[in-house]
Structure formats: C-alpha cells, structure tokens
A and B are shown apart, each in its own frame.
Chain A
Amino acid sequence: MWKLFLLSFCFWIFPFPAQAALDLNGVSITASVNKTSITLEDELSLTVTIEGAAGEIVPQLPSMPAFNVYQRSFVQQTNNFHITTTYQYVLLPRFPGKTTIGPITLDYGNKTYKTDPISVTVYRSPRQPAQTKTRNTTSTATQKKAKQYAQAPADMPALEKDLYNRAARLGNKDYFMVAAVSDKTPYANQTITLAVRFYYARPFMGTAPYTAPAINNLFMEEIGRSEGRQIIDGKTYIYTEIRYSLSGVTATEASIGPASIKYVPETRLNLSMFDKMFATMGQEPQTVQSNSISLQIRPVPTFAQPKSFYGAVGSGYTVSATVDREEVEAGDAINLTVKVNGPGNLKPTSDLKLPTIAGFKTYDVVSTSGMVPTNGELRSYKIFKTVLVPAASGTYSIPSLPWSFFDPDTHDYRTIYTEPISVKVTPSTQADAGFDFSNQQDLGNGFRQLGRDILYLKSNLNTDTDSFLSKIGKMNWLIYIALIALGLCGLFAFADKKTLAQKHALAKAKAQLKNAYHEEVISDTLSTYLQVRYQVNTGSLPLREISAALKQKSCPSALIERFEVLWQKLDAARFAPVDMQGEGTHELAAQALELIKDMDKESKK
C-alpha cells in the first residue's frame, strides 16, 4: 500500500520540476518569411518557430487583411529534452502595397511571448502585354520583332526585376532556368546576391538533380532556397529559387558559369503513385541551363581611405568591445574582445591594429571569423582577441577603437567606434618566482656546480661585538682631551716662543756645524746664532763694532774675547791662501760649537 502511495507521490512531484526546467530554459517564438517582396501572383511562406514550449501550443496570428492565410504544416521535434515546434503558413497576397505582418503571440505559462513585426512589399502583377494580333503575318521575323514581353514593376528590386524580365523573355518554354545578380560591378569584398531560378510550367518526374554554377575569382556561399509562382503569357509557372552570396576578393574580372538541372518531364497525366515511381525508366532526362554572368570587380577608392579601414565593404556594420574583467591586478592579463558584425564576408579583411593604449602592454591580435545565412542574406562576424597587461595600478581607459568600412551605396568611407571601457588596476600582490638554482656548470677536477644557495644559520649568538676599537670609538671625550692637550702645547709654545726660538737656533747651529765643510759655513752659522740670541747683525759690521754690540747686549767679556779670536781665525782662514791656513775646518767648527753652547748656557743663567 505504501509503495503505491510513494509511486503516486513521485508521479505528482516530478512534473513540477520538469515544468520549472522548461521555464528556466526559456521559451521563445520567432517568425520569418521566405521573401519580403513579392508580386500578386507569388505566395509567401511564413514560418513560426516556438522553442522550449511543450504541449499543444498554437500561436495566435494577427489580423492580416492583405493576405489569404493557409496553414501548410506543423512539426514538433524533441532533441535533448528541448522541444521545437514549427508552424508553416502560406500567405497569398490580396492587393499590392506595403503591409506588415504584426506580432504573432503565444500565451504559455501565464506569459505572453511575441515576435517582431515583418514588413512585406507586394507589387502589382506585371501588366500582361497586349496580344497584338497582326493581321498581316508575313514573316516570323516580323512577329518576333513585334513581340512584347511583360515588364516587371518599376519599383521592384533590381535583382527580382532582372529575374522577372529574363523569365518573361523565356516564357514560351515549359522548363527553363534564369540567373541574375544584384550588382554586376561590385567593389572588392562587397557582397552581392546571385539568384538562380528553375521555372517549370509542367511537372517533372521524380527528382531533378541540380548543378551549382561554376565561379571564377569569386567566393560563393548558398544562403537560402525558396519557391514561387509567376504568370508569363497567361501560363502559370512554378519556380524554385536558390540564392548565393558572392564576393570578389581582388579587383578583377569574374564570371559565373551556368547552373543546370536534369529533369524528366511528365508526359502522361493522372499517373498513380506506383506508375510515377517507374515512369522515368526508359526516358531520357533533359537538361536546362541558366545564363552565364560576367562581373567586373572594382577596387575601393584609395582617396581619403581611413587608417582604420581593414577591407570591409558593405553597410550596416556594428562593432563592439568587451573585456573579461574590469578590475585586475597590475601585471595580470585582461582579454579584450572586439566583435564586428555585418553583411557579406569578413574573412578576407585584415586584422584589427590596436593603437598604443596608455598604461597597458599590448600583444598581437588573434582573429576568428564566421558566416551565418540569415533571412536570405549572408551575415558574418569577425572576432579579434588580444591580451592587455596593465603595468601599474590606477584607473585606465581602453579608448574607443575605430573600425572603418566602405559603403558602396554612398561610395564613401564610414567609421564606427567601440565604446570606451574603464579598467581599475590594483597593485600587484603576487610574489615573484624566487631564485633559479638550476645554474649548473662543470667546475673541472670532477666538481660540478649544481646550483647556489644561501649559507646555513648561525647556531650561536654574537653578543660580544664591542672590540677594543669599538670601545675607543664610543669615547668621544678622548677627542676633546687630545685636542685640548694639543692646544695647551701650542699655547705653551707660543708663550715661550723666545726660548723656543733660541732652542731652535741652537739646534739648527749644532746641526749645521756638525756637517760644516768650509769656514764660510761656520761664519754664517755663528752670525745666524748671534742674530737670534743677541739680535746682533754681523753682516756689514767690523769686528770691533760687533764686540761693542755684544757687550751692549750683556754678553760676558770672556765670551766676547773668545768670539773675537774665533772670528779673526775664520777671517784669516777665509782670506788666506790654502797653504797658509793654520787650523782645520773641523777644529774651527768645534770651537764655534763650544762658543755657542757657552753662550746658550749663559742665557739660561
């Protein structure tokens, strides 16, 4: 019993999370049409796609007085628990003019979802040419010349008009193909559209293999298929249209070869399904080809070409820039992504060149590109990624980045910009990697250095850092004592400078007499001493006057007499011939030294 209860509980509980998951996944509704401009004979295919909604869901179509609306199909697919529901409607236009398919709504889970409105232009059916029935049909040539074809409405887009008119000219056949391009002289990298239509007024057997046109100097990408109807000369044709996006990379001549289809025409009507399966057997397939087209690809003008032009040609581009984080440490990398969206093929355009961004170290840009066919148009994107490394902290701004393209409609260049991005950089907190001790080298003698490291700890304290010199260094008072002592010595010397001068004179005399080699030196020494000791100048005075001066200076008479004797001996030695000299120089010097010493002793008494 309890098992049954548990089972019931689970049965009731589980749907709720499932419902919640659906809500979390999100429900969306989109609507698209196979073409946005049609004639009154055409039919419009409206596709409504509902994503993520389960159960029986029916979108609410708006009032569309300009169309007769029929539901064509309903498909619901589940892939990885994701449900996609697709409704297809056929819209037959009722009158010409511009009309809008309003928002298609879906009420689901207490919410209402809406699609965007779609604008469609319906053109008037081309006027059927008046069947000029010439009464005088003398020649077929004249008939051909007189034949007039139904002309496409003037306000129809060029490509549709070209296709329409080409088809009108070939309308006398049951099966034929036409091809046309939106522009025969595009610029390099400009995207144009190639449309190839296979018209058939009668059904054909089985499938009809299609061969795409060969291209030269062009890049081609299929962007969609559609079907339609056209009445030519009163005959209703059904056509299948394949559209391609074309672009030339370089300025040159380009060509589009014919596209072809092999088919087996249905000759007998009212065949059963079984008969249709085997009716092609034994019948030769027929081939129809579209016309070839030549293109002249023009270069974009170089005059006034902006520096930020990288080769994009078209209109409706958008550019945006994002960073993976707006707050970062100095030295850390920021990923900058610049995304360009626009028509055509952006793959051959060059890479974005980043300007110098103040405060950041920039690196090379890496790009990726891709294409997405959307509603009969090829749109592409190019993503540029680079790394910016801020060098220092602060608030920096990644400036607006320019992106230029050439607009073929206005024939001039236009520049669009990204929004500036502010980045806050905080100081780095990362420690560096430390040391590399892998510096190995062979030192010879069997030694190999494996690396270098710091030496080990000191296991003891070194408290005895005060050496004798350090202790002396702390005794600043010693400097003052030494300087004071030196000063006192100087003072003493200054105070007793007379005595010191005499001492100095005695010391000098002693030194000179010790090495005296001539009587002249002895005389000079004696004169100098007398001048210092007694302030008596002996230079120009005769001996008598010198003696008188010494006597006046209180020199003892005995010393004066000894001086006179010595002075006469010195005079005699100086002026007498060499062989007449009595005593030797050394003896005279000894006598002079004795005299000076006695004079010094006398002064101390």
Chain B
Amino acid sequence: MKRYLLAFLLACCCAFSLHAGDLQEAEQYYREGRFAAALGAYENLLKNYPNDPHLYYNIGNCYFKMGSRGLAIANYYRAFRLAPRDTDIRHNLTLSLEAAGERFVPAGMPVILHKAFFSLTILELKGLTILSLLLFCVLAGFWLCKRKAGWLVCISLAVLLLMSGWYFCRDHADAVSLAVVAAPTAELRSGPGNNFPASANVAQGHLLVVLDSKDHWDEVIIKSQAIKGWIAANDLEKI
C-alpha cells in the first residue's frame, strides 16, 4: 500500500514539474515575441487546468500582443470571473476594453462600488448566502422554540436578504450570455443571413449580449450603442 501511495505522489510531482516546465517554456516564447507559440503552450496547459484564471490571463496577453483584441478581452473576462479580486486581470481587462471603446465600470458607477460588487466569485457569494441562510434558520428555530433573542433573528434575516439580493444580482449579471467581436470587423444585419441588409459595422473588441441563435447567426444587443441585430456566429467569441 505504501508503495502505491509513493508511486502516486511521485507521479503527481512529475506531472506538476512537467507543467511547470511548460509554463516556463511558454513564458520564454512570450518574452521572445513568439506569441503564437506561447499561446499554443498555454492552451495545452488549459486542457489540464480548465479553471485556472492565470492561464486565461496569459492567453489573453498572447492574443492582445497578436492583435486579436476581441479574443484577448474574452479570455480576460474568463479570468476575471474566476479571480475577480486579481488587480492585474482587472487592469488588463479595463485597458483592452477602453481601447475597444467599451467601459468595464459602467458610467456613473463608482469604481469602489464596482469592485465591491465583484469582490467575490459567484460561487463564493453563493456560499456566503447559504451560510446566511443557515444562521437565520438556527436563530429562527431558537426563537420559535424559546421565544428569545428575537433581535438576533431580525439581524440574521437582514443579512440573509442582503446576501440573497447580492447573489441574485450577480447571478443575473453572470447569466447574461456575453460575447465579444473576435473578427476584425463584424457586420450587424437586420436578420439571420447575408441577404439581410447590414446596418452597422462593429469593430473587434466590442461587448455584446447574445439574445438568440439561429442557423449560425446570433441575435445580439450592443449595449454601448443601444443597437440590436444579427451577427454571424463565426465573428463572435462567447464568454
């Protein structure tokens, strides 16, 4: 049994050292300006660590340096959803969105409030809401049985409502199907097909909300311009 355990630990160490080597190799490519090679290496690593925000961040950097602003934004966004408190990810996402003419922090919203709203991941927020519910249930049960500490029940209820509201808003925000224009320019048409007239050209990097999909065409809203239309799915990168 000890032998098997030792072999397992050894295999884990070997795998980790291999991946560390891949990471260094990718970084070396990046430093040499071979961004496509670095991108390939990071994408290989992503197959083993699909929820690593640093890998998404690095992939975003590679796309950014290769001039694919749309794909860079998509990957920064994925990294941000996994690690919202990471200041580097926030910086690069803000910079690339500003360059595309978009705003990361909505106009009129204080940055501190935006940071607070996105200070937790959706999973962390869910955990916090569950804890609030547990606390409330305990206190409410106690009150029901003992008719004591009613003010504590009120406070826990307030906390539960606050957390539920926060979680609801975040879940609603994350449930919106976001996409970014990945093609150099995408044409916004009035229907799902090339036979419909184009009403606007959308440069890469613009954020869109996907409403519907039909025959490889996505119905989208460009919030920054308040216009709606259909864009070929190939031109978009879903976040």
Known contacts A458-B54, A462-B53, A478-B134; decide if A485 and B141 are in contact (CB<8 Å): yes
Q: Which residues of B contact A (CB under 8 A)?
A: 19, 23, 27, 30, 45, 49, 51-55, 57-58, 61, 64-65, 67-69, 82-83, 88, 91-92, 95-96, 99, 120-128, 130-131, 133-134, 136-138, 140-141, 144-145, 147, 183-185, 187, 194, 197-198, 201, 203-204
- Write the nearest CB–CB distance from B183 to chain A, whole angstroms: 8
Contact B88–A455 (Cβ < 8 Å): yes
Contact A467–B124 (Cβ < 8 Å): yes
Q: Of all chain A residues, which has the CB nearest B143?
A: A489
Q: A391, A435, A460, A471: which contacts B201 (Cβ < 8 A)?
A: A391
Q: Which residues of B contact A454 (CB under 8 A)?
A: 61, 64-65, 91-92, 95-96
Q: Which residues of A contact B23 (CB under 8 A)?
A: 459-461
A460 to B19, CA, bound (A): 10
- Write the nearest CB–CB distance from A34 to chain B, whole angstroms: 59
Q: A461, A470, A488: which contacts B127 (Cβ < 8 A)?
A: A470
A129 to B226, CA, bound (A): 92
Q: Which residues of B contact A471 (CB under 8 A)?
A: 127
A–B Cβ pairs within 8 angstroms, 28 of them = A330-B185, A330-B187, A330-B201, A391-B198, A393-B187, A393-B194, A393-B198, A394-B198, A428-B184, A431-B67, A434-B69, A454-B92, A454-B95, A454-B96, A455-B88, A455-B92, A458-B57, A458-B88, A460-B23, A468-B127, A469-B125, A471-B127, A473-B124, A475-B130, A476-B130, A486-B141, A493-B144, A507-B147
A460 to B55, CA, bound (A): 9
- Write the nearest CB–CB distance from B42 to chain A, whole angstroms: 9
Number of A-B contacts (CB under 8 A): 150
A434 to B63, CA, bound (A): 12
A469 to B49, CA, bound (A): 21
Query: Is A93 an interface residue when CB atoms closer than 8 A count as contact?
Result: no
Q: Of all chain A residues, which has the CB nearest B96?
A: A454
Contact B144–A472 (Cβ < 8 Å): no
Contact A472–B127 (Cβ < 8 Å): yes
Known contacts A432-B204, A462-B53, A482-B134; decide if A457 and B127 are in contact (CB<8 Å): no
Contact B53–A489 (Cβ < 8 Å): no
The 6 closest A-B pairs by CB, nearest first: A392-B198, A472-B127, A473-B127, A489-B141, A473-B126, A469-B127
Chain A residues 551-565 with CB under 8 Å of chain B are none
Contact A331–B198 (Cβ < 8 Å): no
Q: Which residues of B contact A461 (CB under 8 A)?
A: 19, 23, 45, 49, 52, 54-55
Q: Which residues of A contact B19 (CB under 8 A)?
A: 461
Q: Which residues of A contact B55 (CB under 8 A)?
A: 461
Contact B83–A434 (Cβ < 8 Å): no
Contact B137–A503 (Cβ < 8 Å): no
- Write the nearest CB–CB distance from B142 to chain A, whole angstroms: 8
Q: A391, A453, A455, A492: which contacts B144 (Cβ < 8 A)?
A: A492
Contact A473–B125 (Cβ < 8 Å): yes
Q: Which residues of B contact A463 (CB under 8 A)?
A: 49, 52
Known contacts A392-B201, A465-B82; decide if A470 and B123 are in contact (CB<8 Å): yes
- Write the nearest CB–CB distance from A75 to chain B, whole angstroms: 62
Q: B-facing mask of A327-348, CB < 8 A → 1, else 0?
A: 0001100000000000000000
- Write the nearest CB–CB distance from B222 to chain A, whole angstroms: 15
- Write the nearest CB–CB distance from A554 to chain B, whole angstroms: 25
Q: Of all chain B residues, which has the CB nearest A435?
A: B99
Contact B140–A455 (Cβ < 8 Å): no
A457 to B61, CA, bound (A): 7
Contact A472–B99 (Cβ < 8 Å): no
Contact A479–B99 (Cβ < 8 Å): no
Contact A457–B27 (Cβ < 8 Å): yes
Contact B124–A469 (Cβ < 8 Å): yes
- Write the nearest CB–CB distance from B131 to chain A, whole angstroms: 6
Query: Is A285 an interface residue when CB atoms closer than 8 A count as contact?
Result: no
Contact B128–A469 (Cβ < 8 Å): yes
Q: A393, A474, A486, A500: which contacts B140 (Cβ < 8 A)?
A: A486
